[in-house]
Amino acid sequence: MFQLSLFFKSDQRSLKHQFQYQLPDQDYYGDPIIFGEPAEVQAKFFKVQEKIFLDLEVNFSFEMKCARCLELIRQEKSVNKSFQLIAENQQQDLTEQDHEEDVIHYEKDQIDLEGIVHEQVLLEIPIKVVCDENCNGICSQCGNLRDDGNCNCDEAATEEETDPRLAKLKDWYQE
């Protein structure tokens, strides 16, 4: 928890806070997401009139398996996001414009920066990653990587073969 009380009481218009946050590894629908290095976080709080804002910048890297060939790949990403901070007891004072902005509620002059970082990082990670747009993946017949040249299967024959259990479905589409 980050204490905002000193910032609220001071005459400072802005406050910078830098830290590292080690994200826990995740299991995303059976696909592991590995965060090897801590995320670099820069949080800048600033006052504009009576409102408090947070500019958040997070630089992080993660490893995931390619959705086509299952090779482990590493990607680097960054998140840049701005929020308005509103005390929990001031929720009823929100205007329509405030509802359109990204709002973070805080209690007792504390804000959970690590929780916000964790949420924003997970929102930035793509559902599936590929090592290369031209990755051909794994052969469904022999199980070898198609790009390695170890697959000697006839591509035309494998595409035309139909699972005998599903052969009746072809008749539906011929009508």
> Does 95 have pLDDT greater than 80?
no
Question: What is the tens place of the pLDDT at every residue in 135-148?
Answer: 888 887 787 888 77
Higher pLDDT pick, 30 / 118 = 118
Q: What is the pLDDT of residue 161?
A: 65
How do residues 49-62 score in pLDDT, each as one tens digit? 777 888 999 999 99
pLDDT in tens, 123-134: 998 888 898 888
Cβ distance 127 to 144 under 8 Å? no
